[in-house]
Chain A
Amino acid sequence: MSTRSATARLGLPQLAESSYWVRRHARALLAWMLFALLFLMSTALSDTFRSPDVVLETFKGTTFVGMAAAAEFFVVIGGGIDLSIGSVATLSGMAAAVIMGGRNGNIALAIVVSLGIGVVVGAINGLLVNWVKISPFVATFGMLYILQGIAYTYSANPIGQAAPGFYAIYVSTVAGVPVLLLTMGIFWILCWYVARQTAFGKHLYAVGGEREAARLAGVRTSRVSFASYVICSVIAAAAGLLELTQSYVGSPDIGATLLLTTITAVVIGGVSLFGGEGSVLGVLGGALVLGFLSEFFVSVQVDAFYQELIEGLIILALLGIYRQRLKT
């Protein structure tokens, strides 16, 4: 074995390799193309959409679903599913609003408690799935009801109040760029990094793709899966905090529709619900598609009820395309 020939082979990425990259990321690219199409159609059809402020606001509007989709991404890649993310976000938002009570001094405590809720819920989900061996669907479905029950028992109406220093995150800008979007940029890069550049990420893909193969390779499969549930719930809790910067009060209803939107985004982003396949890039694309789709309907003044119909059609069309690609 000669090291020299090996280094020569490595070299720099060559042009021919770019087509390879495209093939591997075909699904994610499809989601992004859809997003680009929506974006162009919106600007072409609506005057208001040409204003940068409107565009930035639309981007900001996608962040909540985006974060939740990233949360779901980690569990789904690992071969599981988490139906409780909406109720985790709800509970986290309510807890933070109550603890803050409008006072800046309580922000830190509120964040710690909210994320702590995420850790605990994720740990319970991970335990139920990996050691008690309850199917993820059932375990997290149960968790969904328990958490939603706790939320409603605590208060059926919006409660508490966000501190001014907290909701400033949503409105403040740095050099014209919203702080929120900067934060999200860092968040997505971090997600990409964890998924693609760490041993944990590789193990997660392996566990979701072929659990027995991962086990034989020496991966501690249950631990990896457990970690994915914790990560998911923590991000979901953070999404609940994000929503609070916008709604100011902790509402027990914010998570109600989140679950289905999130799974829609994940699927549009090209993640296989069977696990082991998909990319962070794709999920971000999927979340943007959903966010801009609703804006598009507003801008062309089409009844919002059509949105669900169109979403359904997009999902089926994309899955049909993905399926075809699999066959070849």
Chain B
Amino acid sequence: MRTQAAVSARMREHYTRAQTFRYAKAGHPAYHRRAMAASAAEQVPVTLPRRLMLFVALPLFAGAVSYLIWRTDVPWMGAHRPLWPHAPALLRDHFADAAWGFAVGGLVASLWREGPRAVRAAWYGVGLAVSIGVELLQYAHVFPGAFDAVDLAAQAVAFVVGVLVVGGIERWTSANAVA
């Protein structure tokens, strides 16, 4: 196993050098970008817990912090004076909803990067249904809160953005890991 790993590593190094040489020889502007990206990808492997922290916990945290900045109440804390009381209504009213939708997209995309296409598609569908379903259940007075069409749109769009961002980063890190 160790020998096989060493051979793989040597092949990878050889491939990287060959690519680097080719780019450098051709004066390709991607040379520096590739070299930097490969280095970064190797130094910080994007594991599942890191993905969940980055694409789920961080957006939720940002949504929670947004209450401190431009809302007059903080969940579970109660009333407070907002730091930016005159924030634009779009930020004040919909940022937290969008952050939550992004977190749902980030969760599904982080967990379903691979697997049978049909299963992945089904889970993406479930994720989207959850992200808009919560708002629709408010319309039916099943879920606490009040329905808002802009919230619904913000959550749906943020879900798609979350999926695309995680997918894009996945492709970027995979490509650089090979390079």
A binds B: no
Interface residues of B (CB under 8 A from A): none
